[in-house]
Structure 1
Amino acid sequence: MTTPDKLLSIDQAKLPLFAGFDVGGTNIKIGLVDDAGYPVAFTKIETQQEDGPEAAARRSAEALKGLLAELGVQGKKVVARAGLATPGPMDLPAGKLLGPGNLPAWHNSPIRDLYAKASGLPVTFANDANAAAFGEFWSGAGADFRDMTLVTLGTGVGGGIIIDGRLLVGAHGAGGEIGHIVIDRRDDAPLNSLNLRGTLEGYCGAYGVLNRTREALAATTINSTLRELSDDDLTPLAIAQAAEAGDSLAMGIVLETAKLLSIGLATIIHTVDPESVVIGGAMTFGGSGHPLGERFLAEIRSQTRARIFENLRDEISIDFARLGGDAGYIGAAGLAREEYLLAGR
């Protein structure tokens, strides 16, 4: 989703509102979410990362002001707090963005304070994957549970863990770094984006999937339409399309991805024992309601249940995320709400 399926009217909204800023390398998503987790306004702007974080914070605040004007509440104190989600790495207590690869002009910036100054609101700072996890927990696929783990599949593998309704941040802000779980101990196992070997991301992130596809093509003479593609044209989408068209090698890659993912999920399940595991991100092979996506999910469920305690197999829900691209700003707003409530309003 690029916009919410449905926006609540301001007359229906439960006040106060909470603002959510979800910063990416290309776009910044900005939304207003009511006290019950329903979005009431949304927009997005280009990140223009080369102009620096202060300019982005200012433009984000202007966009937020525009949303309030559209709702007819500009000048009224209806927004209690804002949440800010950015890619890592970060220093959460200090509110600093350290060295995100897709925001090179923002390194070592006091991003939380810049957004607070520009918006005039207190700001809660969070990792983008953790914010997405909290969004799904608050008003998405995890809304019926108290304990939930989100795994996002995209260029890398991210995630977040909710335990008894609270986001697991960790002593150093590294809680929920699911993509770096080791699933292969070999010394020549693939490297991931942080040059760590044998991780879930190294196998199930987009580049890991593409590397496994290239290895499969080199190791066999089996007919595959993927052989006709240039290196630039070989993408997860191309693999999905080939699998849908009956290409056995492509289908094998999709199902192997599910199997490899299940190894990481079994580790998570045996570590935190969630009620629900939610699979999201851009690389779910069509996702919910799509034949290939549903087969991918069925394989994840089957492979994961074969690897976990027997008494857990029918107790843990494994499903696709529901909020799509809206999860980040909704979750950022939800985390702002949590801090607002903890502070006694």
Structure 2
Amino acid sequence: MAHNTQPQPPFFIGVDVGGTTIKVGIVDDNGRSLSKSVVPTEVKQPPEIGMANLERCVRDAVQQSGLTMDDMHSVGLATPGTMDIAAGMLLTPGNLPAWHGFQIRQHVQNRLQKPTVLQNDANAAAFGEFWVGTARDAPSAVMWTLGTGVGCGIIIHDVVIEGQHSHGGESGHMIVQMDGGRSNVDGRCGTLEAYCSATALVKRCREAIEAGADSSLRATLDAGQEITAKLIADAAEAGDELADRLVMDTARILGVATVSLMHTIDPSMILIGGAMTFGRHDNIIGRRFLQRLKDEVHALAFPIPAAKTRIDYAILGGDAGYIGAAGCARQRFTGKTPSGATAEQRAYPC
């Protein structure tokens, strides 16, 4: 039987608020993105300016989809943490400094006149992959998002692990170095983010070159140009030993953290997503990065999870956040889950 290619109602608005841009997509009941729009967040301005940008972005995405606001069922809103999910409030999000203490869910709901659910951005991205991405057939999944920081989302039997205080899954702040650890941007020492984010990779590269390490990237620094994670990956692909060592060491450390999560929740799948995935399977560095991570897992994890846990790249890219946010609205306001399980079945998954 041929698959129905027509958009399937109900339709959901997925919103992914970042430190640079707000991304909005219209998503149908099957998790298909019908349209997408992007506007600047303008984080240095009062949050009301951001809300006006968000509303403009939503209305543009709806218009692009060929639908109307009346066709929209509800809104899923993904933002960086920290937050109080139940209260719909941002607490102290590091990349939204002017939005601290902002009741964002109620503001969005008032502007759009649609039921709105708030979710952490890393959780939403993981939920998108769980719904229609790489983990769509998995009972449970952990997704690392590597970028400016390190995010993490955990989904078990259709349930996002939010925790008692809306801080569940903040595993980028897992301690991987007890004594003398590197500091991340918010001053916490020894965290995974201080070693495996794009920010940390660039910082470690600069420090090594300034300490005398030989690298083709020295010319970039000498010219007064910025080193980026992309430049480091390109240098590694071209045979630069320092760049290659740093990328593979990032994979090793991420593997150590992955084993800790495997031994804690025993998921069926581990995903790697975000902006820093080194070209994924399409690039030799991406393939080697994933294999190095797997090697560390196989060396450190218990034999059964080491053998049976699937580890792979996420596939939705930058769309994962708004698709997952839409999926959270779908689940919250219609009761439909990615697996099709009822609330009672989710409560007793065995």
- Summarize the Cα distance change of 1:62–1:235 in structure 2 as closer, same or farther, 3 Å threshold: closer
Structure 1 counterpart of 2:145, which letter?
T
Does the 8 Å CA contact 2:251/2:289 hold for their aligned counterparts? yes
The 1-side partners of 2:273 and 2:41 are apart by: 23
The 1-side partners of 2:294 and 2:173 are apart by: 21
Structure 2 counterpart of 1:53, which letter?
P
Does 2:204 match 1:203?
Answer: no
Residue 284 of structure 1 is matched in structure 2 by 277
Root-mean-square deviation (Å):
2.1
Residue 317 of structure 2 is matched in structure 1 by 324
**3-state SS of paired residue (1:49):** coil
Structure 1 counterpart of 2:232, which letter?
I
Residue 117 of structure 2 is matched in structure 1 by 124
Structure 1 counterpart of 2:321, which letter?
G
Identity %: 42
Does the 8 Å CA contact 2:148/2:199 hold for their aligned counterparts? yes
The 1-side partners of 2:29 and 2:313 are apart by: 25
- Summarize the Cα distance change of 1:215–1:46 in structure 2 as closer, same or farther, 3 Å threshold: closer
Does the 8 Å CA contact 1:20/1:329 hold for their aligned counterparts? yes
**3-state SS of paired residue (2:307):** coil
Paired residue for 1:225, among 216, 222, 230?
216
- Summarize the Cα distance change of 1:233–1:72 in structure 2 as closer, same or farther, 3 Å threshold: closer
**Deviations 1:293-324 (CA, angstroms, capped at 9, x unpaired):** 11111111111121101112221111111011
The 1-side partners of 2:316 and 2:167 are apart by: 24
Residue 28 of structure 1 is matched in structure 2 by 22
- Summarize the Cα distance change of 1:58–1:191 in structure 2 as closer, same or farther, 3 Å threshold: same
- Summarize the Cα distance change of 1:258–1:63 in structure 2 as closer, same or farther, 3 Å threshold: closer
Residue 4 of structure 1 is matched in structure 2 by none
The aligned runs of 1:174-189 (5 Å cut-off) are: 174-186=167-179, 188-189=180-181
Structure 1 counterpart of 2:300, which letter?
R
Does 2:108 match 1:90?
Answer: no
Does the 8 Å CA contact 2:258/2:297 hold for their aligned counterparts? yes
The aligned runs of 1:229-308 (5 Å cut-off) are: 229-230=220-221, 232-308=225-301
The 2-side partners of 1:260 and 1:143 are apart by: 27
Structure 2 counterpart of 1:25, which letter?
G
The 2-side partners of 1:106 and 1:283 are apart by: 26
Decide which moves more: 12-21 or 193-202.
Answer: 193-202
- Summarize the Cα distance change of 1:232–1:173 in structure 2 as closer, same or farther, 3 Å threshold: farther
The 2-side partners of 1:152 and 1:59 are apart by: 25
Paired residue for 1:334, among 327, 331, 335?
327
The 1-side partners of 2:64 and 2:202 are apart by: 44
Structure 1 counterpart of 2:90, which letter?
L
Structure 2 unaligned runs (5+)?
Answer: 337-341, 343-350
Does 2:38 match 1:44?
Answer: yes
TM-score by length of 1: 0.90
**3-state SS of paired residue (1:80):** strand
The 1-side partners of 2:254 and 2:65 are apart by: 43
The aligned runs of 1:99-138 (5 Å cut-off) are: 99-138=92-131
TM-score by length of 2: 0.89
The 1-side partners of 2:235 and 2:53 are apart by: 42
Does the 8 Å CA contact 1:276/1:317 hold for their aligned counterparts? yes
Structure 1 unaligned runs (5+)?
Answer: 1-7
**3-state SS of paired residue (1:32):** strand
Decide which moves more: 276-285 or 99-108.
Answer: 99-108
Does 2:54 match 1:60?
Answer: yes
**Deviations 1:270-299 (CA, angstroms, capped at 9, x unpaired):** 011111100011112222311111111111
Offset of residue 62 of structure 1: 3.5
Residue 69 of structure 1 is matched in structure 2 by 63
